[in-house]
Chains A and B, each alone.
Chain A
Amino acid sequence: MAEENKKIKITIDNITVEVEPGTTIVEAARLLGSEFAPPTMCFYSKLEGSGGKCRTCLVEVAAGSAADPRPMPKLVASCRTQVMEGMVVKNITSERVLDARNGVVEFLLINHPLDCPICDQAGECYLQDLSYDHGKVGTRTEFVRRTFKREDIGPLIQLHMTRCILCYRCVMVADQLTNKRVHGIVDRGDKAAISTYISKAIDNDFSGNMIDVCPVGALTDKTFRFKNRVWFTKPVDAHRDCETPGCCGKATLWLRGEEVFRVTSRKDPWGEVQSFDGKPGWICNACRFDKKKTSDWVVEGLTQISRHSVIGANKYKVLDVPKETITEVMDGRDPKLLMNIHSVSGVNRPEIDLSKLNRPAHSDDFEK
């Protein structure tokens, strides 16, 4: 039996790491640190069967295993490929991988509304990070972006289908945390959309976790909607004795002053919920949506934030600020938007032209 428990040695970008058998490549790479781990948009280690869909974690396998050192002909999804003894993986050292990843980012963005300035996810959005790290400057598409009919999925969660990247995580949350899933993917191809079964409201004790697993701003907290930008709020770890079975009672409160603006589950450096005693720390809707006073909670202290996000890492500082104005760069022409943001963003009110306001835009200027 000792033979079976032997650790497996694999090499990722010329660094050798020892892992348990059955580990996936991406989990092995995460042991090395964030700069070596392939980015993931759909993989969520706490959700069974997740991954393989977004294709951002593609890596090159230069040698399949010690027993069969042939390279794998195609790039493989590292989140769904298990390690083998003697496997040699190329992530950032492979031109092919970087090129393919660059393509995936472009694909994910060609129909994304890019309405970050009015999106509640901005600042903690994995698509922002991904496009910053792996995307190109500029766009090659000039077609009208895809839009969807707005759908109300209940009083607690806001769905913005235009922002969705179809990672299927929220579907898996509903499948694996609750006993009756009422939403899923309808239609196919580029018309595929998250929707409820004949416009039912999503109503169960753990539905709020759909917000936490969503990597983009497709599912956001209605109680936090337009209330604040995440980078203005201060996260603190807190806990309470929650009686809901399955709720861990450990959460992150997002404060501004003394006011609790938002409650989320605690995240690990990979953006997934932290595990407590080996179990994923999902929180119930009562903790998330109803306990919005500091007196409801026992505050433990400041949350350690992995500075993963675009704004958290202040990455924009390193960009050169152009010396000319935009009009000068464009030979005297005024800049023109390639897309009509009114038509692609689900929250704009077409009757209000934001560019004509002579005051800062207010949350009343947007659709709630």
Chain B
Amino acid sequence: MTKKILLEKIDVPGIKNYEVYRREGGYRSVEKALTMKPEEIVEEVKKSGLRGRGGAGFPTGLKWSFIAKPEGIPRHLVVNADESEPGTFKDRYLMEFIPHYLIEGMIVSSFALGSNVSYIYIRGEYAWITDILDQAIAEARQQGWLGKNILGSGFDCEIYTQRGAGAYICGEETALLESLEGKRGNPRIKPPFPAVKGVWQRPTVVNNVETIAAVVPIINEGGEAYAKIGIGKSTGTKLISACGNINKPGVYEIDMTISVEEFIYSDEYCGGIPQGKRLKACIPGGSSVPILPANLLLTTAKGEKRLMNYESLSDGGFATGSMMGSGGFIVLDEDQCVVKHTYTLARFYRHESCGQCSPCREGTGWMEKILKKIETGKGEMKDIDLLWDIQRKIEGNTICPLGDAAAWPVAAAIRHFRDEFEWHVNNPELCLQQNYGLAHYAEDIRVPVA
């Protein structure tokens, strides 16, 4: 049983409110942090080995140490709560049920970074969560955790929420900053990086909600204690939002030592696949990471058990591995059609492309049309190769990672499920009526009995 950290108190009645949160030990980290030096906090975060929870997994302490500190120019912390990746809903859970955790983490992080005005950029669809956060910010300010001269330390801090207008692209950090400034959410061309020129051309750090929340236990317990949880470079706990064909969808906090098999089949987590069906495939880290077939998901190409952490999930590169991503765990059972699934994702990325650079603007639409053609039984063999060539020409050639995010699912689907694509082409009538079912590799997969 994983020791819960972020979700430890989530079931306490009334934890949304300040009194209960404070009684349960909330805001201790702010009291402690304000007695420390900002550099010490950054050092503590470095020691903890905390990695960005938004998807890329970049070490947070290192990111913080990159922030430029020019004389006389304010710095900003921006929390990325634009959680729009299909399959990812972990930040929503955290912000909705224990909002003070994020506020507490933000005060500590703002102090460490020297940000007197910090922002939460939240996706527009989370309107009610914005209200919850605003309420929490108001309570914190009333109690003296925000405002001028917090706890007599001389540190001023204000937190503002800003709602997005419903665009996935605004979760990309530079597009987010553009949108925060009130402009069209087009990603910026890097360099300059946000750590040098971010919001209003000032040094800015953009972090995910979960990352900032994880700063609280790091300060409370110390970076070294936090680093002891987990395995290797995957320290601490991670929130996983599990969905798809599983018995118990929801948000789970795991320490990153458990295996993928345990996560799917254990009653403590997903609780297996409904109606005793077999596992076909899984996207382990949100819609943009490569899909893996069951055999490669449960064991790595080397034959080792695959674990739920950054290194193990990406073991084997994209040829036989995937990515931890943002922790959106989507499970597909034997009745799911990978072609249809890929088409759905391609449609999403086409809709969400900002249209700024040509490979993504034109390529996402083209891929969607070809996938629709194959899915509706009008495909030809050459379309599969064409699809592969298109994704190859999008990947890495765009301004921001949305191009990669659109290309990877298509690439992985063709890489691992080419037989299913070919079956669609060869059986144009049949593919409209029934699904391909399990692929050839799934025969020898052990199905644990619950």
Q: Which residues of A contact B (CB under 8 A)?
A: 51-56, 58, 74-75, 77, 80, 99-100, 102-104, 106-108, 110-111, 140-141, 143, 146, 165-166, 168, 184-185, 187-192
Contact = CB atoms under 8 A, between A and B. Distances in A.
A87 B357 CA distance: 26
14 contacts: A58-B397, A103-B359, A103-B389, A103-B390, A103-B392, A103-B397, A107-B362, A108-B358, A108-B362, A188-B167, A189-B352, A189-B365, A190-B353, A192-B355
A166 B189 contact: no
B357 A143 contact: no
A153 to B, nearest CB: 19
Return the 5 tightest CB-CB contacts between A and B, nearest first. Answer: A103-B393, A192-B355, A107-B362, A52-B189, A189-B353
Contacts of B167: 188
A110 B354 CA distance: 18
B353 A188 contact: yes
B397 A104 contact: yes
Given A141-B366, A189-B351, A189-B364, A75 B397 contact: yes
Given A99-B393, A189-B353, A104 B364 contact: no
A107 B184 contact: no
A55 B354 contact: no
Given A107-B359, A107-B393, A185-B355, A52 B365 contact: no
Interface string B177-206: 000000010000100000000000000000
A51 to B, nearest CB: 8
B191 to A, nearest CB: 8
Interface of B: 167, 169, 184, 189, 350-359, 361-366, 369, 386, 389-390, 392-394, 396-399
Contact of A107 (B169, B351, B354, B358): B358
Given A52-B399, A103-B397, A107-B393, A77 B352 contact: no
Given A188-B167, A190-B365, A100 B358 contact: no
Contacts of A187: 355
A190 B362 contact: yes
A53 B393 contact: no
Contacts of B353: 188-190
A52 B357 contact: yes
A327 B90 CA distance: 62
Contacts of A191: 355
A189 B366 contact: no
Contacts of A185: 184, 355
B396 A75 contact: yes
B362 A111 contact: yes
A166 B357 CA distance: 8
Interface of B is mostly: helix
A189 B359 contact: no
Nearest to A99: B393
A100 B357 contact: no
Nearest to B187: A52
Most buried by A among B350, B364, B365, B398: B365
Nearest to B350: A189
A168 to B, nearest CB: 8
A166 B356 contact: yes
Contacts of A55: 357-359, 397-399
Contacts of A102: 393
Contacts of A58: 397
Contacts of A141: 366
A192 B361 contact: yes
A107 B352 contact: no
Contacts of B398: 55
Nearest to A191: B355
A165 B355 CA distance: 10
A53 B354 contact: no
B177 to A, nearest CB: 15
B231 to A, nearest CB: 27
A1 to B, nearest CB: 21
A85 B225 CA distance: 44
Given A80-B189, A110-B366, A189 B397 contact: no
Most buried by B among A55, A74, A99: A55
A53 B350 contact: no
A360 to B, nearest CB: 35
A306 to B, nearest CB: 25
Given A74-B396, A100-B393, A103-B393, A143 B358 contact: no
B357 A53 contact: yes
Nearest to A100: B397
A106 B367 CA distance: 13
A100 B390 CA distance: 10
Contacts of B369: 143
Contacts of A146: 365
B359 A77 contact: no
A166 B361 CA distance: 10
B362 A110 contact: yes
Contacts of B355: 166, 185, 187-192
B396 A190 contact: no
B181 to A, nearest CB: 14
A190 B386 contact: no
Contacts of B390: 103
A80 B189 CA distance: 8
A199 B358 CA distance: 26
Nearest to A56: B358
A296 to B, nearest CB: 40
Nearest to A106: B393
A53 B353 CA distance: 13
A260 to B, nearest CB: 36
A170 to B, nearest CB: 15
Contacts of B366: 107, 110, 141, 143
B364 A190 contact: yes
A23 to B, nearest CB: 15
Nearest to B365: A190
A53 B184 CA distance: 15
A98 B333 CA distance: 42
Contacts of A168: 356
B229 to A, nearest CB: 32
A107 B389 CA distance: 12
Nearest to A81: B191
A266 B440 CA distance: 65
